[in-house]
Amino acid sequence: MTTDELAILIDSSKPLVVLLPVGAIEPHGPHLALETDVVISQAAAVRAASVLSAGGLAALIAPAVPYGVTECAAAFSGAVSVPAATLTALLQSLVESYLGNGIAHVGIVNNHLEPAHDQAVRAAINGIDSTRASVSSPLTRRWARTLSGEFKSGACHAGRYETSIMMAAAPELVRDHERGELPEVPISLSEKLQSGVEDFAEMGLSRAYAGDPARATAEHGSEQLDLLAEMIATQVSEAMES
């Protein structure tokens, strides 16, 4: 989008929403690209924009912030992390700058679910008018319960859930031959985190994934993306109406 095209949208009568996809550069098993979480946020944001426009709002997708806090996967190649305070400061600056441009609402969309990262993302909108910024992330009781059984079990890192979404959103970033031969790793990350184990290798994720990627399908991924889009559209609409 050019500056003139954006200016026309800002001046139009419809309130303009910007969705800002956030992820992490992090190992996702032998079969998914390091940027998986960013791609999931982008794909969910694209679908959410359609839901929001059907509801009378104009929604744009901002260029993503691909880097996040990723300490859990530090034992594997490709975990590229930034400090939590750095991520919070960057996201807060971006939200304030978009709002300063005349955007009505900035919806941050996060799908990297490491707790320290999710908290750093949420902290970015502290102190900002709550009608003008929101965070959508499935790391909440409200939204997690809407997603797949595997997601709810906590075995949700590069398993059937994320792999299916990637097969729907960016099949070129899935190594399908490797995927089909991977055994199920039924380890719940949420249970491990609750018991104080934060390192993937220590959790028993010997190849940086949990869950059942061999059972992933693009159709299942598309269904999960629709649920994420519903989450984003609802979070944004509720915040704007509050």
- Closest distance to Zn ion from the beta carbon of 202 (Å): 18
Residues β-bridged to residue 67? none
- Closest distance to Zn ion from the beta carbon of 186 (Å): 17
Residues 158-177 that bind Zn ion (CB under 5 A): 162
- Alpha helices per DSSP H over 154-188: 160-169, 176-180
Of 198, 32, 195, nearest in space to 115 by CA: 198
**Cβ-based nearer residue to Zn ion, 133 or 210:** 210
Site map (CB under 5 A) of Zn ion, residues 195-234, x = contact:
----------------------------------------
Of 118, 86, 112, 84, nearest in space to 27 by CA: 112
Choose one: 12-20, 33-41, 54-62, 219-227; the region binding Zn ion (CB under 5 A): 33-41
Q: Residue 212: which residues within 8 A CB-CB, separation 6 or more?
A: 150, 155, 159, 160, 184, 185, 186
**Cβ-based nearer residue to Zn ion, 38 or 57:** 38
Are the CB atoms for 17 and 52 separated by under 8 Å?
A: yes
Match 């010997």 to its residue by tokens: 206
Choose one: 13-21, 32-40, 144-152, 217-225; the region binding Zn ion (CB under 5 A): 32-40
**Cβ-based nearer residue to Zn ion, 37 or 212:** 37
Which of residues 35, 37, 150, 212 is near Zn ion by CB under 5 A?
A: 37
Return the SS3 of 22.
strand
Binding site for Zn ion (CB under 5 A): 36-37, 162
